[in-house]
Amino acid sequence: MIRSLIISALILIAAALFAWREKQQLSVEKETNEKILRQIANDPSIDPQSPINIERRKAESAKQEKVKTITRDFFALYGSAPEDPFSVSGEERMRIEAELKSRLEALDPSEIKLFIEECNNNPDLNAQIRQSLDVFVQRVFIAKYPIEMARMMTQSPKQFGIGEGKNYDSFAHLVYYYSGEKRDLQTVFECLSEAPPEFQVKYIGGAIQFGTDSPSQRAELLEEMRYFAVTPEQQELVNSKLSELAFSRSDAKGSFVELTDWIGSANLSSEELVAATKGMEQKVRVGETGQWLDWLTKNNIPDEVAKERAFELATRWTDKDYQAVAQWLNRTPDSPEKASVASAYAAKTYPYDPAGAAQWLQTIPPGPDRTKALKAIYQGMAKDSDEAQTFASEYQLAK
């Protein structure tokens, strides 16, 4: 009897516990449902069946159908050559082309993205249609949406034929159009900022190519380049272009006065000066080399770099006019830069004037400049020749 009562009690307890849990679960579900309903009331777009979402789906479907129709018309028109006897007449074709261009101009960036994808997924895409597509990308889409097109091209370069060995692809056109035609350098560098590093390295030169014709253009370009250089990699990239910015011209080499005036007005830092003067011996007028050597001693360039630049300038100058170099050396006071010039002069003139070169070698204090000249002279001699052995012994050079 007692056992039966205990079992009955346990059953009642279990039933009560189960009922309690059911009630708790129903309460949680009710609260969750009420929360969802409140969210839907505040934002109807959450509900898939809400009027807003139904309209959105209809709009998306209509957009896709619109783009597909334009793509079909595009392929129908540019898939056949204008001279095809079975194609429409010349006037009719021009009318269709104008209409199609208007329809393409009306596309927004999301529709342009769909159009490019539709074109690339079409099995009938050939070189002729690809060329027509490039024309519309460059003349219509880039002209209207440069930033958005830069994103699309860098995210899906193959869809735009970028990386196929073209000399002039659509991203290059974007850089040219906004730097050379529109003179909108801010847009150029905004587009480059959207691009990955490999694009920045490849295309930044286009902006510089069309932005160095006047001092004001170079100043504007330098400002945009500095603003663009956010990361260390971008700073390195900009520095690698400063020499081109400071010295290059589309027609001829700039004069000493013109170039130094601009460099002075640009307020270049020591690091920027180092970058800007790299390879300068190839970019200055040979007849003005003496002025550039004097200029090196008066600017905020580290001594070792200034000496290196002086050696490079003097080496080229001696090749072109060794007498002018000798005159510069004779009239210039002693300085670290003069020692570098004497080193370059001695190394270059030794083969045809060993006595004169030796005299200038004696003016160079023992150290890197003298050693540099001696090694250059020795390396120019025939190996194991009597002359080389005598020279090495006289100047205590290790063979």
92-105 mean pLDDT = 90
Residue type, 73: D
> Between residues 25 and 325, which one has the greater pLDDT?
325
pLDDT at residue 26 above 60?
no
Q: Residue 11 has what pLDDT?
A: 57
* Residue whose tokens read 């001279």: 83
* Averaged pLDDT of the chain: 85
Question: pLDDT band for position 388 (50/70/90)?
Answer: confident
Q: Residue 254 has what pLDDT?
A: 87
Question: pLDDT band for position 41 (50/70/90)?
Answer: low
**Cβ neighbourhood burial of 373 (10 Å; 0-12, 13-18, 19+):** buried
- In 3D, which of 217, 213, 175 has the Cα closest to residue 192? 175
The whole-angstrom separation of Cα 211 and Cα 220 is: 8
Q: Residue 114 has what pLDDT?
A: 96
Convert the pLDDT of each residue in 268-306 to its tens digit: 999 999 999 999 999 999 999 999 999 998 888 999 999
Convert the pLDDT of each residue in 314-351 to its tens digit: 999 999 999 999 999 999 999 999 999 999 999 999 99
Q: Residue 292 has what pLDDT?
A: 97
Q: Residue 196 has what pLDDT?
A: 95
Question: pLDDT band for position 180 (50/70/90)?
Answer: confident
Question: pLDDT band for position 22 (50/70/90)?
Answer: low
Question: pLDDT band for position 82 (50/70/90)?
Answer: low
Q: Where do the H-state alpha helices sit in 156-213?
A: 170-176, 185-194, 197-209
pLDDT at residue 158 above 90?
yes
Task: Work out the percent of the chain whose per-residue pLDDT is above 70.
Answer: 82
Q: Residue 84 has what pLDDT?
A: 55
Q: Residue 250 has what pLDDT?
A: 56
Over its C-alpha atoms, the chain yields an Rg (Å, rounded) of 37
Least confident of 6-20, 229-243, 272-286, 347-361: 6-20
pLDDT at residue 189 above 80?
yes
Question: pLDDT band for position 310 (50/70/90)?
Answer: very high
Instruction: Please answer whether residues 302 and 336 qualify as being in contact, where contact means their C-beta atoms are separated by less than 8 angstroms.
Output: no
CA atoms within 13 A on the CB side of 251: 4
The CA dihedral of 308, 309, 312, 315, to the nearest 10 degrees, is -100
Per-residue CA distances from 183 to 8, 177, 340 (Å):
92, 8, 43
Instruction: Please answer whether residues 288 and 260 qualify as being in contact, where contact means their C-beta atoms are separated by less than 8 angstroms.
Output: no
Which residues lie below 8 Å from residue 231, measured CB to CB, with a gap of 6+? none
Instruction: Please answer whether residues 218 and 262 qualify as being in contact, where contact means their C-beta atoms are separated by less than 8 angstroms.
Output: yes
**What tokens does 347 get?**
């190394």
Total-model pTM:
0.76
Convert the pLDDT of each residue in 206-225 to its tens digit: 988 876 777 888 899 999 99
